[in-house]
Amino acid sequence: MTGSRHRQAVRRGYGLAVAGCGLVLLLVAGLEAWRLQPVGETGAGQVLRLAEPPDRPRAAGPPEAPAVPVVPGDPAGVPGRQPPVALRAPAIDLTAPVAGVGVDPETGELALPGADRAGWYRLGPGLEASRGSVVIAGHVDTRDGPGVFFRVAELAPGDRIELTATGGAARSFRVVGREVHRKGELPLERYFDPGGRLRLTLITCTGPFDRRTGSYRDNVVVTAVPD
Amino acid sequence: MGISGTRLRRAGLVVAVAAAVTLAIAAPVRAQDTSQVFVVHGIPGQPVDVYVDGEAVLSDFQPGDVAGPLELAAGSYEIVVTAPGDPVTNPIISVPGAEVPAGANLSLVAHLGEGGDPTLTPFVNDVSAPAAGQARVTVRHTAAAPAVDVRVNGEVTFAGLTNPQEDSADVPAGTITGDVVLAGTSDVVIGPADLTLDEGTLTIVYAVGSAEDATLMLVVQVIDIAAGPAGVPAGSGGLAATGLATGWYLLAGLGALLLAGGLLRAFTVRRAAQP
């Protein structure tokens, strides 16, 4: 009787120990899953509306304030593009120099500068713009370590972003949305857009990493509007 | 305003609503179905209101200004230009059936004809992407003036243009100095003017005004036409990777097995221990 009880206690203890080990493994894996959870999306609908053409006046009648943008055609008044030279996002302790970048002639992709600076798409709107998407992209990391946009995916609606032009003039933006797209499905025309409302578009990489190709699966896009 | 006026206004509303509905439906495929339309004012000394199908789209539009783009579905539009505040029944220019094609980029230019009468000329803008490092420059003769040559950096680049002809060239991006001379001469009638041609832009230069009234001038319109990149590769380290590697799923699976097995064992023992 006593031996049987003892045997049962041992068996129970053994079973509980095994269950405890299993629980620890599950917890560790769960923690890792929580740490590596995908970047969340927010404000996607609002970002989509920014790319739409402005509303047209609704009805006939007395002339009203035009919704159509009007610019002077004075040759001396055409400013040319004003490149941003610095970007600041206090919410993520980011202060970075910005360089103008174009397209890699071989791949057709955006030719980003090194990991220590962000790249402004210089064939699109700059700081002079009154409409369209000012695009600044940066590395989330490289083989050498974290890049300039390592924490850009942490930007949340309401966070401020400041762009500075040569000479110190600054322009302030407020984050309204964060979207994640598979790289093959990135709606490039909506982000590299000379039209629609004026907005700042920050792009970097996120998602699962493929060690064989050395690349991420997704892009994360943070959109901000003038403050 | 009598009954007919009210009817007219209702008709205008119906057209506006129909246009809005058309635009809404066309929105997802707007690249094919609608055109981007700019309006350029090239009549010196005469601010105007512009109506499209009875809608006031521009009011007190100033000479030398460029407006747009308007997104217009393909079709035929009535375009009326009046002096500010004037009724559409008293137009400066009236075009009853301006054809807007699908998927085009247009500039609608209010300007003086060669003889000096106000007119409206639609131009199709070549917005195909230029080669890397290049900018496109288009010149349009929309002035009450005889044939001209356009010189870029002192050399005749566009020769013998008459109202309302245009010509175009892709050039290396940079700053140029241009002027307009009477065709075949070096009599400068406009300029010289400096122009910055950014890579990936279309810069359209309009000669407007009247030689007789000494109001010749340039109006410049700039459109972004770069093709845009094919992608944004912005990471190669894997430090910011999200999602679990396969190993972690195996580990979690093992954990679940151990937990279930262990509990089952403890549970069955306890059951077996019941008297």
Chain A positions in Cβ-Cβ contact with residue B243 (cut-off 8 Å)? 36, 38, 207-208
Whether B57 sits inside 8 A of A66 (CB atoms) is: yes
Interchain proximity A38–B69, CB inside 8 Å: no
CA within 13 Å, CB half, B171: 19
How far is the alpha carbon of B160 from chain A, nearest alpha carbon, in Å?
22
- Contact assignment for B132 to A102 by CB distance below 8 Å: yes
Decide: residue B187, CB within 10 A, 0-12 exposed, 13-18 middle, 19+ buried: exposed
With contacts defined as CB-CB under 8 Å, which chain A residues touch B16? 58-60
B contact residues 161-220, partner A, Cβ 8 Å cutoff: 193-196, 198-200, 203, 205-206, 218-220
B1 in contact with A at a CB cutoff of 8 Å? no
Confidence of residue B20 (pLDDT cuts 50, 70, 90): very low
In this model, does residue B207 exceed pLDDT 80?
yes
pLDDT at B269: 52
Q: Phi/psi zone of residue B155: left (φ > 0), alpha (ψ -120 to 50 degrees), beta?
A: beta
Cβ contact, residue pair B67, A70, below 8 Å? yes
- Chain A hits for B139, Cβ within 8 Å: none
Contact B12 A60 (CB under 8 A): yes
Domain definitions of chain B by residue range: 1-124, 127-227
> Is the pTM here over 0.95, yes or no?
no
Mean pLDDT score, B213-227: 93
ipTM of the shown complex: 0.82
pLDDT of residue A136: 98
Q: How far apart are CA B41 and CA B37, in angstroms?
A: 13
Query: Does residue B21 or residue A201 have the better pLDDT?
Result: A201
Mean pLDDT (whole number) for B194-222: 94
**Triad B234, A168, B223: Cα angle to 5°:** 60
CATH 2.60.40.1120 fits B127-227, yes or no: yes
> How far is the alpha carbon of A34 from chain B, nearest alpha carbon, in Å?
9
The shortest CB-CB distance from B234 to any of A29, A140, A208 is to: A140
Q: Do A81 and B198 touch (CB under 8 A)?
A: yes
Q: Does residue B3 have a pLDDT over 80?
A: no
Q: How far apart are CA A207 and CA B240, in angstroms?
A: 8
Q: B28 to chain A, minimum CA–CA distance in Å?
A: 10
Instruction: Look over chain B and give the mean of its residue pLDDT values, rounded to a whole number.
Output: 86
What CATH number is given for B1-124 in this structure?
2.60.40
Contacts 24+ apart (CB under 8 A), A100-109: A101/A137, A102/B132, A102/B199, A103/B132, A103/B227, A103/B228, A103/B229, A103/B230, A104/B229, A105/B132, A107/B230, A107/B231, A107/B233, A108/B229, A108/B230, A108/B231, A109/B229, A109/B230, A109/B231, A109/B232, A109/B233
How far apart are alpha carbons B66 and B141 in whole angstroms?
16
| Positions of chain A with pLDDT lower than 50, given as ranges | 56-66
Asked if the domains at B1-124 and B127-227 fall in one CATH topology, the answer is yes
pLDDT tens-digit map of B52-103? 999 999 999 999 999 988 989 999 999 999 999 999 999 999 999 999 999 9
Residues of B with CB below 8 A from A209's CB?
Answer: 235, 238, 240-241
Which residues from B are below 8 Å from A215, CB to CB? Answer: 233, 235-236
Chain B residues whose CB is inside 8 A of the A145 CB are 237, 239
| pLDDT at res. B59 | 94
Chain B interface test: which of A128, A185, A216 (most B C-beta within 10 Å): A216
Percent of chain B with pLDDT over 90: 71
Instruction: Give the pLDDT confidence score for residue B13 in this predicted structure.
Output: 40
Please name the residue of chain A whose CA is at the shortest distance from the CA of residue B52: A60
- Which residue is closest to A194 within chain B, CA to CA? B224
